[in-house]
Amino acid sequence: MEIKFVTTGGTIDKAYSKSKGTYNFDIMSPSICSILKNANPNFEHEVVSVAKKDSLDLTEDDRQLIFDSCKRIENKRIIITHGTDTMIETARKLSTLKNKIIVLVGSSQPERFKETDADFNVGCAVGAINVLSSGIYIAMNGRVYRWDECRKLDSGHFVEKQGQNKPL
């Protein structure tokens, strides 16, 4: 198995800038690298960084860049770390890509926090991508959804759209 990881920023990748006193993305390496280091994975993987932004700040150009990166990648399996606010928009943009299994994943607390959902969520995406067939998916809160069958609540939780409960 081979997985290509595409990083785009989002809460999962936020660090803390002591000079500015706020969160930023000035980190040496994306959080996915720490996660994979601890996970000791038995699959080939490569990490490519496409953007470093809050997902609310991603522009149409950024989404085109993510799309182009995914199209260019020859692996069948792609996991995109992404801010949760516009994860579904990016998934829609990618939905014309065929013959690929793409899972978007993020976290509600930065990976650098002691108490974070980052490792669990990425694990979830990786576990699912072992089994899923082609399509664009979102892995959040321990659930794996087809991108067009879920929505994000104000609380931050992802849930299925009403009436959408069929197994993947």
Interface ranges with a copy of itself (CB under 8 A): 1, 11, 14, 16, 18-19, 21-23, 35, 37-43, 54, 56, 83-85, 108-110, 112-117, 119-132, 139-144, 154, 156-159, 167-168
Chain centre to alpha carbon of residue 86: 11
Q: In terms of CB distance, is 49 or 160 closer to a copy of itself?
A: 160
Cα separation, 156 vs 34, in Å, equals: 24
Q: Considering beta carbons, is residue 74 or 115 the nearer one to a copy of itself?
A: 115
Residue 28 C-beta: closest distance to a copy of itself, Å: 12
The nearest distance, CB 66 to a copy of itself, in angstroms, is: 19
CA dist., res. 12 & res. 6, Å (int)? 13
Cα–Cα distances (Å) from 59 to 51, 88, 120, 127, 152, in that order, read 10, 14, 28, 30, 20
Q: What residue type is assigned to position 40 of the chain?
A: N
Of residues 67 and 141, the one with the C-beta less far from a copy of itself: 141
Smaller CB separation from a copy of itself, 29 or 64: 29
Q: How far is the CB of 68 from a copy of itself (least distance, A)?
A: 26
User: Minimum distance from CB of 143 to a copy of itself (Å)?
Assistant: 5
- Residue 132 CB, nearest distance to a copy of itself (Å)? 6
Question: Please, which residue, 16 or 67, has the CB nearer to a copy of itself?
Answer: 16
Work out the angle at residue 87's Cα, subtended by the Cα atoms of residues 83 and 88, and round it to the nearest 5 degrees: 165
Closest by CA to 79, choosing from 44, 12, 129, is 129
Question: Token pair of 10, please?
Answer: 């989002």
CA-CA distance, 105 to 137, in Å (whole number)? 9
